[in-house]
Amino acid sequence: SIGRHKRKNMTTNKILSLDHVSAGYNGKAKIMDICLDIHEHDFLLVTGHNGSGKTTMIRTMMGLIKPMEGRVLMWQNNMPVRNLNIGYLPQYNNIDKQFPISAFDTVMGGLTQCRRLWGGCNHNNRQQVMETMRQMGVDNLANLHIGQLSGGQLQRVLLSRALVANPQLIVLDEPSTYMDNTAETQMMELLNNMRQQSTVVMVTHNPIVNHMQYNMRLIRVENGRITS
């Protein structure tokens, strides 16, 4: 079927499963009886109309929402674990663009050791931040306040933050918002390369990426349920 191509020379170990999961807000379910297995090196494209339950599903997947029913299971090297190293790009509209922070420090916040009160980042960490920003074409914006960035620039800075720690699982909610075609292609090529060591889940209500070109697995969510 579309997007379900055979993985060549890659393991198919599961990294995360939603086991008959229902979840939502204020006691009202937004997703119902979701069953989904995600494997190492998967590249998932989750689609559906606004309000279909896509964001609720990925927030539950990441542990930001507790299931009302069912379980979220995680593995590393075929062993069950309580947490995974997850890089997350939330929806653009949820970002406080007035927060007093530079583009560089925003990306550096994606490194756990750099969030400590008294610091913890060394020269190698800073080089890692700049290299990730360079890959996304925003290294020249490092010293700018995030409020000075255009929508597309800020989106690429936030994507850099999600990718900088080389996470096991990368979750992107509407990542191409405000990106032009060139920036989106650059992002897709980078993500496609990162799947060699990571698993990528991308959410969009209006997929304009060519999921066949990038060997993505297509998941459709409608009315809180997976339909394909």
pLDDT digits (tens, 9 = 90+) for 182-228: 888 888 888 888 888 899 999 987 655 566 778 889 999 999 999 97
Judged against a pLDDT cut of 50, whether residue 144 lies above it is answered with: yes
* All residues at 6 or more sequence positions from 74 whose CB lies less than 8 Å from its CB, including other chains: 15, 16, 80, 81, 82, 83, 84
Per-residue pLDDT, 7: 45
Helix (H) or strand (E) holding 161: helix 151-163
Per-residue pLDDT, 114: 74
Per-residue pLDDT, 226: 95
pTM over 0.75? The answer is yes
Q: String of b and e for 39-75 (b: at least 16 CB within 10 Å)?
A: bbbbbbbbbbeeebbbbbbbbbbbeebebbebebebb
Per-chain mean pLDDT for the chain: 86
Judged against a pLDDT cut of 50, whether residue 154 lies above it is answered with: yes
What residue ranges in the chain does DSSP mark as E strands? 14-25, 28-39, 43-47, 69-76, 79-81, 86-89, 169-173, 199-204, 217-222, 225-226
Per-residue pLDDT, 209: 59
What residue ranges in 55-184 does DSSP mark as E strands? 69-76, 79-81, 86-89, 169-173
pLDDT digits (tens, 9 = 90+) for 50-91: 899 999 999 999 999 999 999 999 999 889 999 999 999 888
Per-residue pLDDT, 28: 94
d(CA 78, CA 101): 39
Name the nearest CA neighbour of 111 among 138, 136, 85.
85
pLDDT digits (tens, 9 = 90+) for 7-61: 444 447 999 999 999 999 998 999 999 999 999 999 999 999 889 999 999 999 9
Partnered with residue 220 across adjacent β-strands are: 47
Name the nearest CA neighbour of 71 among 149, 115, 16.
16
What residue ranges in 65-152 does DSSP mark as E strands? 69-76, 79-81, 86-89
Q: Do 109 and 103 touch, CB atoms closer than 8 A?
A: no
- List the 69-76 sheet strands across, edge first: 28-39, 14-25, 69-76, 79-81
